[in-house]
Amino acid sequence: MSLPFLLEIGTEEVPDWMIKNALEDLRARFVALGIPHESVQVDATPRRLVLRASGLVERQADSEELVFGPSEGAPEQAVEGFARKHGVSRSDLGLRSKSRGQSDSVSGSGGQSHSRSGSGGQSHSVSGSAGQSHSTSGSQYYSFTRRVAGRTTAEILAAALPGIVLGIYFPKTMYWTGKNGPRFIRPIRWLVALLGEEVAPFEVGGVRSGGVSSGHRRLGAAEVPVTCADYEQRLRDNCVILSADERRARIVAGLAGAKVDPVLLDTLVYLTEYPTAIEGSFDPAFLELPAEVLVTVMRHHQRYFSVEDAEGKLLPRFFAVMNIGSDPEGFVRRGNERVLRARFTDARFFWDSDQKKKLADRRKDLAAVTFQAKLGSYRDKAKRMKTLVKELGGKPAAVRAADLCKCDLTTELVKEFPELQGVLGGLYARAQGEREDVWQAIYDHYKPVSMEDSIPRNAAGRVVALADKLDTLRGCFRVGLIPTGSRDPFALRRAAQGVVKILVEGKMELPLLDLLEGNAELTAFFQERVKFYFKDARGFQYDEVNAAMAAGWSNLADLDARLVRIQGLRTSPDFEPLAASFKRIRNILEQAKYEGAAAAIREDLLEEEPEKELYREYRSIAGQPIESVISRLRPKVDLFFDKVLVNAPLEEVRQNRLQLLYELRREFSKVADFSEIVTTS
């Protein structure tokens, strides 16, 4: 008989952002149990993690096991004693040899099977017949086959579920029943575990599993008896929508005209059991405040969707999502409107009072804002950045921006909205009459914040952003704050990625390696980031990146240009054969430990015609771009390797040939070290 299984872990409100991973972990832990099933599905609301499976057998398949006794030559009393001990008759015993792994008296498996053989079927074939390939020796033992009844699935579940529930991974857990009690993300308040119509009994933290769920905190019943069949419907009757997709659809259906931010939407899906969107509005007078501030308040602080017109201009409206079905009296709408009004009033208060002290007058206040304990205050950082901006060739606008860009950290509005640092500095600078390139540079100097984000819009912004990130990286590496594995508290990978992106996409011809203070760890760190950028963000082949970087990677704008050339070259039919030849040249030079001679190639020592031809070709094309000579060069190289033996008996001739290859390689490795190219031939 095939049974459905339902597990519901009833909790207090689980943080929305942890739910998806927890569900996948729950699913994996259930599957790892090895109980055969047809399908498994996981769902959640903030108050319940749910796993439903179908097609579980009631009882795991019976299995058989071999029980071994005395060896063939044992006295008869011992053999009879063995039979008596296990309650089998002497005639049931047969002689078998043990296969590997059967040194104990019992072999075979009493555990559950992974095959779906159905109740009563044989799950493991008994490897009892003598002369199997496994047998280790000729010696034989008295033995018999014992039938082991399969455990019921309910038993297996009851035993495994406490470990499965408490094993679900959460980034931060708590205890609630007392010290040394179980740990979970939030207290577990009820458990539903039904296999068919029966409860799979277990207990966690004093809560026993049963068949009673719980509805919406205020719109549903506190106790809701459920069955596997009616579970989802019973929840719905009690104002809980189990399916995240359905909750999402319900929210979206109520968002006519809003900008649907997918991250916010997901948050709300997992913050609610019975979501409904409602529309509200605010006083258009607040639109005088920067849109950045208004949107941040709505989206990040109030979890509202903002609304824009067709031109992308903010409208004085918003959508909130509530965890109840309707708002007929308008209580919820008016409440949210009042909260938003208070938030906007606060923001306006801060915006106005921050204006009383100009950014330039806040520079010395930065001494009271810590950048990092070992790296001093933001005043120290700003001074370092200013110097660095000049070193990087920043124009006066960039120097001015570097001088002011951290000052917004002392404003009330940034204390209120830390995510707007930089942006607000730019807005204040604009309001205080700074030049456009200066305020834009301040506004943009944290960019790019991700691989997808754009780089600062003007040159001053790019230099300031570089200086900011480089200063952080150099300082952190200097004092040993180096990212390890997944730990990167100062977001140094993102900073380095930002540097790479700005240098490349800003086409800035700066020698990156000279900016790393000769720090070997920082250089290696950047090397990884450069590779990552060109491979994963830009889609170049890894061997192209290796080849191009082997020819130098300090000037990233140049590296970018060379990579584009290599990609173009790759389409030439001559490319791969030539790359293969360069690999051969590299091997020959490495084997000969040849590192170039001061003396030029001696024409008088060139003996054979292919060698002379290659030399003449090399002389005539040296200095020309490889694209225009590749088709001429390749046959000469091929011919050379076909006809000429580099290891000439005469040392002088040999050295001369090595020098020819050496110079050839050097000449054509300026774009890339083509020997790094992985060839198919």
Partner 1 sequence: MQSFQDSIFRLKQYWAERGCIIQEPYDVEVGAGTMCPETFLRVLGPDPYRVAYVQPSRRPADGRYGDNPNRLFKHSQFQVILKPSPDDIIEQYLGSLEAIGIDLKAHDIKFEEDNWEAPTLGAWGIGWQVMLDGLEISQFTYFQQCGGIDLDAVPAELTYGLERLTAFLQARDSVYEIEWAKGFSYGDVRYRDELQYSVYNFEMADIKTLWKLFDLHEGEATRLLAAYDPKSPVKKRFPLLPTYDHVLKCSNLFNTLDARGAISVTERVGVIQRVRKMAVGVAQAWADQSRVEAAAEVAE
Binding site for partner 1 (CB under 8 A): 12-13, 15-17, 46, 172, 174-179, 181, 186-187, 189, 217-219, 222, 271-272, 302, 304, 320, 322-324, 327-329, 331-332, 334-336, 338-342, 345-346, 349, 365, 367-370, 373, 376-377
Both tokens assigned to 637: 């190289």
Angle 615-616-618 (CA atoms, 0-180°, nearest 5)? 65
Q: Which residues pair with 184 in a beta bridge?
A: 174
Nearest distance, CB of residue 441 and partner 1, angstroms: 26
β-bridge mates for residue 9, sequence order: 49, 191
Q: Give me the residues paired with residue 175 across strands.
A: 183
Q: Which helix (H) or strand (E) holds 3?
A: strand 2-11
- Report, in Å, the least distance between residue 363 CB and partner 1: 14
- Cβ at position 264, least distance to partner 1 in Å: 13
DSSP annotation string for 581-626: HHHHHHHHHHHTT----SSPP-GGG--SHHHHHHHHHHHHHTTS-H
Instruction: Tell me how far, at minimum, the Cβ of 257 lies from partner 1, in Å.
Output: 20
Contact partners, residue 511, CB within 8 Å, separation at least 6: 554, 555
524 Cβ neighbours under 8 A, 6+ residues apart: none
How far is the C-alpha of 452 from the C-alpha of 505, rounded, in Å? 12
Closest to partner 1 by CB, 344 or 446: 344
**What's the closest the beta carbon of residue 467 comes to partner 1, in angstroms?**
21
Q: Are 407 and 427 in contact (CB under 8 A)?
A: no
CB of 190 to partner 1, least distance (A): 10
C-beta closer to partner 1: residue 189 or 457: 189
Q: Return the structure tokens found at 428.
A: 């204040």
Look up residue 210 and give its amino acid.
G
Taking the complex as a whole, how short is the minimal distance between the CB of residue 283 and partner 1, in angstroms?
11
For residue 192, what are the β-bridge partners? 8, 210
Integer CA distances (angstroms), 179 to 136, 163, 176, 204, in order: 53, 19, 8, 15
At residue 366, φ and ψ (nearest 5 deg) are -65, -15
Whole-number minimum distance, CB 179 to partner 1, in Å?
A: 5
Biggest distance spanned by C-alpha atoms of the chain: 108
Question: Distance (Å, rounded) from C-alpha 385 to C-alpha 362?
Answer: 16
The Cα–Cα gap between 318 and 100 comes to 71
Nearer to partner 1, 417 or 553 (CB): 417
**Helix H or strand E encompassing 659:** helix 651-668
**Site of tokens 């590296």:** 559
Angle at 644 between CA 641 and CA 647, to 5 degrees: 105
* Nearer of residues 320 and 626 to partner 1, judged by Cβ: 320
Of the pair 381, 562, the CB lying nearest partner 1 is at 381
Q: Which residues contact 131 (CB under 8 A, 6 or more apart)?
A: 97
Q: Which residue, 242 or 271, is less far from partner 1 as judged by CB?
A: 271
**C-beta of 339: minimal distance to partner 1 in Å?**
4
C-alpha 473, offset from chain centre? 22
Looking at the Cβ atoms of 175 and 542, the one nearer to partner 1 is 175
Least Cβ distance, residue 24 to partner 1 (angstroms)? 19
CB of 6 to partner 1, least distance (A): 23
- CA distances to 84, 87, 106 from 90, in Å: 8, 9, 18
The two three-digit tokens of residue 373, written as one number: 């304990």
Helix axes 459-478, 396-404, angle to 10 degrees: 50
CB-nearer residue toward partner 1: 346 or 613? 346
Angle between helices 396-404 and 378-391 (to 10 degrees): 170
**Closer residue to partner 1 (CB): 178 or 485:** 178
Between CA 192 and CA 54 the distance in angstroms is 16
Instruction: With H, G, I as helix, E, B as strand and everything else as coil, classify residue 162.
Output: helix
Shortest gap between Cβ of 464 and partner 1 (angstroms)?
A: 23
User: Between 287 and 324, whose beta carbon lies closer to partner 1?
Assistant: 324
Closest CA to 49 of 204, 265, 221: 204
Sequence-separated (6 or more) residues with CB below 8 Å from residue 154: 58, 195, 198, 200
* Shortest CB 338 distance to partner 1, Å: 6
* CB-nearer residue toward partner 1: 33 or 221: 221
Task: Rank residues 126 and 166 by Cβ distance to partner 1 and give the closer one.
Answer: 166
CB of 443 to partner 1, least distance (A): 26
Looking at the Cβ atoms of 18 and 530, the one nearer to partner 1 is: 18
Between residues 114 and 341, which has the closer beta carbon with respect to partner 1?
341
The smaller minimum CB distance to partner 1, of residues 12 and 603, is found at 12
Number of Cα atoms under 13 Å in the Cβ half of residue 668: 30
Nearer to partner 1, 46 or 426 (CB): 46
Distance between CA 571 and CA 566 in Å, rounded? 9
Nearest CA-CA partner of 526 in 511, 514, 539, 516: 516
At closest approach, how far in Å is the CB of 337 from partner 1?
9
Query: Residue 175 CB, nearest distance to partner 1 (Å)?
Result: 6
Strand residues in 34-127 grouped as ranges (E): 39-45, 48-57, 63-71, 94-96
